[in-house]
Structure 1
Amino acid sequence: MGRSGVGVVALFTLSLLFVSYEVVDSAIGVNWGTLSFHKMRPSTVVDLLKANKITKVKLFDTNPDALRALMGTGIQVMVGIPNEMLSSFNSDLFVQQNLSRFIGKNGADIRYVAVGNEPFLTGYGGQFQNYVVPAMVNLQQSLVKANLANYVKLVVPCNADAYEANVPSQGTFRPELTQIMTQLVSFLNSNGSPFVVNIYPFLSLYGNSDFPQDYAFFEGSSHPVPDGPNTYYNAFDGNFDTLVAALTKLGYGQMPIVIGEIGWPTDGAVGANLTAARVFNQGLISHVLSNKGTPLRPGSPPADVYLFGLLDEGAKSTLPGNFERHWGIFSFDGQAKYRLNLGLGNRGLKNAKDVAYLPSRWCVAHPSRDMTLVGDHLRLACSEADCTTLNDGGSCSQLGEKDNISYAFNSYYQMQMQNEKSCDFDGLGMVTFLDPSVGDCRFLVGVTDKGLSSSAEPMTRWSVYHICIGVLIWTLTM
């Protein structure tokens, strides 16, 4: 444990036996991820949050531009510390630079700091878990010194794979995590912090062909799970109560639980579509806001639920699956993908306004060129830009060969901020003013968080002439 070992022991020795938690109605918040090739201005995103009456937002870092945009809005914020920082960072400096300078009158309403993100995930092989509690102890001491300890709470978003059971009432934390989870929940309890967990029924369905599809949703199931006197009709309640049982076995059965991430993707895999996402998210919201709770916590739903996510993130890793880039309830440019009532006063989602789009032009496959040698260009385009919608289950998976090429070319062209040279592809590409979108497959136009003068390369008169000739050829060959 290094220099924090004594602090850990002392802190747990002084743990409060009873902590009063503020009881509030469940609130629906969102995760604001920024791993996108096309980032809107932070002020535009914050205006989107305000238009939809979203009062809680979770960030994955301490982006100063985002925090500045959130200042004075009254929106409650959870900021994050990446796992890679946990082993060596100056907690006093972190608090000074990322919390104190933003908090205050008309400042950012930072309520939580997430110490790591799913640091106990099985796939990490334990590389982060020994840093979590020492980092929290150091941060707590720094919060005390900055007079923020009563306002800002420390949490650790955990993946649901931290606990396990055949039925919910048998829930326990993984054996190798028992000691560290005992320390963690004792720390959370002593400081009035909730347990934060990320729950993804979609991933259960995606990763297990035997998983009953209707059990992932909230409309009842033909495959309910009996558990003593209780019966579970959806995966969310079963997962939630497995955590409740695990906490109970450690002596903290009443600890508040916050859902840090939950949602359903709209593209990039079979089962990831607009209809399923709408049904899941609307079912979740209605279920939580009904205050029905779960069998082990009747009448006591999660303290807060943060939908994952606010916007699509086209630059995320696709290692878990192509769906990773399509979790947003809004597309990357802040346009609602489907009708959703967040239970916050609006009956449906409101779109982002004043989005700084690049000019309405697209890069497509030249209609009169032989595409025999296009393979290398396609690999380049899709290795750097986002082509996930072209794969099986994607909204663009039914395109013909030429449209496939055009989609890949355009994704790269927009990622390159419509740089004229990025649509060359050895003469196989062509810029057009005609929207090449096909059915539900949308050919995007990029957005920018900067002024167009510094981001989009202006078109020369010679370029415009070539585009006009290209459009004529395109039209004649359609």
Structure 2
Amino acid sequence: MRLTIGICFMVLSMATRVNSLVGITWGRQQTQQLVPSMVVDLLLQNKIPALRLMTSGYDIVEVFADTNISISVTLNNQFVWQANRKELAYAWINDRIKAPINKGVKIVELAVGSEPFSNTFYKDKRYDHVVGVLRLMRQSLDEMGLGHVRTTTGHGMDVLKVTKFPSEADFRDNIKGPMLDLLYEFNKTGTPFLIYMFPIHFVKDVLNYTMEFAFLDNKSGFKIQDDNATYTNAVEFMIDSLAWAIKKAGYPKMKIMVGQIGWPTDGYPHATAKNAERFHKGLLKFLASNKGTPLRPGPIHMFLHSLTDENLCNTTFGAFQRHWGIYQSNGNPKYKIDFSLQDRDDYPTQAKGIVKMPSRWCKFNGDKSNMNLVNKNYYLACKEADCTVLEKGASCGGISSESKVSYAFNAYFQKYKQDIDHCDFEGLGEIVSTNPSTKNCEFPVEILAFQDVLSNGMVLRI
């Protein structure tokens, strides 16, 4: 029997010399974004050497000049058309890659497209033309003297067929052609295969195994026996599943880089700060050991996902998509994590220089005489603002119906920078200075956006 249950004690020793790399991703789909210079400080203070921007970062990337932080930028699927001809590719690279590099930004990678062949997170559309644009970008970079900048494309685990054993893994039949084209390009330039991995989702919704299998310190004793390889956690299982697929495609030595891996803290079963802390603690111990996986022993390069929550992120696949952040959107860390791989039991550095808006909230005034009006305004507020924490099983899912209306009103009010007109709700809203938060449900006060800095009573654009 290949699938076995047994008591498994994982002993992960810290290596004297740490060779694995730990970077972090940063998406910026937030109503109020951190000032980019604060992000630079966070990375430097926490000794995070690499950042993966989920956009091209054209408006903020120059702030990383002379920091020695390695930067990866992304040309997202919907904007690939901006570089689908030679002259367009040259212009894009000149503006988004070459100009920042000339100013001291250490751009080391360009990701052309993001999960273009997904059948889960981005299942509505395929982007086969990404392969041609990647070739064009590679050629253009070389001709412009930027051969050191890698070109790649990030993929989710859904490019693989669902299997119960890593050795059975292969790429999905309906995308095998373009995947082989991409592998050829990666192999030609020595580029690692970039994979996005989310064990919490993979274990629950793909494998349907015990959630303990998602943790590196699996306490259940559940394990997978695949011939001579034993898997006690999903991380090694997922990496080796991909490694087997790449091997079957003819590239047994192609390196694998984990471009995104993380644990959400809300909006999903088992998505809590406590579990996120446990997951990352085990993951970073695993990386520090440099032991690798049964099929791919040795150091692994990973990017933790992500720096902050994104309350504007698309929630088509679930509310948790807005809650990946290790930090809250206001720069406060959610849980303990040691990016240095030294297994210290400390919170990461808090963002410095955060300016919050005044301590005031918008809440429902309690008038229930017209519930149709109340419900209409509740849904209108949630359509514009982030109400994902109010869903069943989420952190605020257990508060009263009246409090949920207040939360929605406040989320809308904060999104629009506490403008008093955005707390009217047809006479149902009121502005208060007493915090309406409960023990398990925080009613946030937003921070000033990085575009808006208060100086001498004036709002300046920066």
TM-score scaled by structure 1?
Answer: 0.85
Specify the code of the residue in structure 2 equivalent to 1:54: I
What residue is the counterpart of 1:101 in the other structure? Answer: 99
Change (3 A) 1:371 1:223: farther
Q: 1:368 Cα shift?
A: 6.8
- 1:269–1:392 contact (8 Å) kept in structure 2: no
Contact 1:80 1:115 in 2 (8 A): yes
2:70 to 70, 76, 88: 76
Find the aligned partners of 2:436 and 2:302 in 1 and give their Cα distance: 38
Displacement of 1:155: 0.9
Equivalent residue number for residue 411 of structure 2: 411
SS of the aligned residue for 2:362 comes to strand
- The residue aligned with 2:26 is 32
CA distance in 2 between partners of 1:186 and 1:438 (Å) = 55
Q: 1:18 corresponds to which residue?
A: none
The amino acid across from 1:216 in the alignment is A
The Cα shift of 1:209 comes to 8.6
Shift, 1:430, TM fit: 1.1
Q: Which residue identity is paired with 1:55?
A: P
Please state which structure has a larger fraction of its residues in helix: 1
**1:464 alignment partner in structure 2:** none
Instruction: Give 1:282 deviation, angstroms.
Output: 1.5
SS at match of 1:337: coil
Farther-moved stretch of structure 1 (329-338 vs 285-294):
285-294
* Aligned pairs (5 A) from 1:258-337: 258-298=257-297, 300-302=298-300, 304-337=301-334
Residue 419 and residue 408 in structure 1: after superposition, are their counterparts in 2 closer, same or farther (change >3 A)? Answer: same
**Is 1:369–1:428's contact at 8 Å kept on the other side of the alignment?**
no
Give the 3 Å change call, closer, same or farther, for CA 415–374 of structure 1 in structure 2: same
Q: Quote the Cα distance in structure 2 between the aligned partners of 1:414 and 1:216.
A: 35
2:236 aligned partner? 237
Aligned counterpart, 2:89: 91
- Does residue 400 of the first structure (1) align with residue 397 of the second (2)? no
CA contact (8 A) 1:278 1:338 kept: yes
Q: Kindly provide the amino acid, as one letter, of the partner of residue 36 in structure 2.
A: P
Match of residue 21 from structure 1 = none
3-state SS in 2 of match to 1:147? coil
User: What residue number does 2:153 align with?
Assistant: 156
Amino acid at match of 2:155: C
> Deviations 1:164-211 (Å, cap 9, x if unpaired)?
333111221112333322221221122121110011111124425932
**Pairing of 1:173-188 with structure 2 (within 5 A):** 173-188=171-186
Q: How much has 1:337 moved relative to structure 2?
A: 0.4
Contact map agreement 2:27 2:55 (CA 8 A) in 1:
no
| Higher mean C-alpha deviation, range 393-402 or range 29-38 | 393-402
Does the 8 Å CA contact 2:82/2:92 hold for their aligned counterparts? no
| CA pair 143-44 structure 1, distance change in 2 beyond 3 A | same
Residue pair 2:20, 2:288 contacting (<8 A) in 1 also:
yes
Compared with structure 1, are the counterparts of its residues 216 and 258 closer, same or farther at alpha carbon in structure 2 (3 Å cutoff)? same
> 1:206, 1:324 → 2: CA distance?
16
- Conserved? CA contact 2:265–2:323, under 8 Å: yes
Higher alpha-carbon deviation: 266-275 or 218-227: 218-227
Distance in 2, Cα, partners of 1:370 & 1:354:
44
Partner of 1:63: 57
Q: Specify whether residues 127 and 266 from structure 1 end up closer, same or farther in structure 2 by C-alpha distance, changes over 3 A only.
A: closer
CA deviations on 1:301-328 (whole Å, 9 max, x unpaired) are 42x1111111000011111111111010
Q: Could you say which structure has the larger radius of gyration? A: 1
Query: Separation in 2 of the partners of 1:383 and 1:209?
Result: 33
Question: Are the counterparts in 2 of residues 261 and 306 from structure 1 also a CA contact under 8 Å?
Answer: yes
From 432, 450, 453, the equivalent of 1:451 is 453
One-letter amino acid matched to 2:376: D
The structural deviation recorded for 1:371 is 6.5
- Residue 255 of structure 1: SS of its match in structure 2? coil
1:40/1:356 contact within 8 Å kept: no
Q: Secondary structure at the match of 1:426?
A: coil
- Match of 1:224, SS state, is strand
Return the letter of the residue paired with 2:187.
N
**Residue number in structure 1 paired with 2:10:** none
Query: Given the alignment, which residue of 140, 143, 152 partners 2:141?
Result: 143
**Pairing 1:350–2:349 present:** yes
Per-residue deviation, 1:356:
2.4
What's the TM-score, normalizing by structure 2? 0.88
Query: For each residue in 1:378-424, what CA deviation from the matched residue of structure 2 results, as whole angstroms up to 9, or x when unmatched?
Result: 01111100111111111112212332221111100000111111111
What is residue 6 of structure 2 aligned with on the other side?
Answer: none
Tell me the matched-pair count: 430
Range 446-455 or range 333-342, more displaced: 446-455
* Corresponding position of 1:170: 168
The amino acid of 2:76's aligned partner reads P
Give the secondary-structure state (helix, strand or coil) at the position aligned to 2:363. strand
Distance across 2 between alignment mates of 1:32 and 1:215: 27
The answer to whether 1:216 aligns with 2:214 is yes
CA contact (8 A) 1:204 1:211 kept: no
Structure 2 vs 1, CA of residues 209 and 433 (structure 1 numbering), >3 Å: closer, same or farther?
farther
3-state SS in 2 of match to 1:261: strand
Gaps of 5+ in 1: 1-23, 457-478
SS at match of 1:237: helix
Q: Deviations over 1:32-89 (max 9, x none)?
A: 0001112121112222222211111111221223202211211101100111233452
Q: Pairwise mapping of residues 421-440 of structure 1 onto structure 2 (< 5 A)? A: 421-440=421-440
| Percent sequence identity over aligned pairs | 34
- Deviation of 1:239 after TM superposition, in Å, equals 1.0
List alignment gaps of at least 5 residues for structure 2. Answer: 1-17
SS at the partner of 1:103? helix
Secondary structure of residue in 2 paired with 1:425 = coil
Residue 120 (structure 1) aligned with residue 114 (structure 2): no
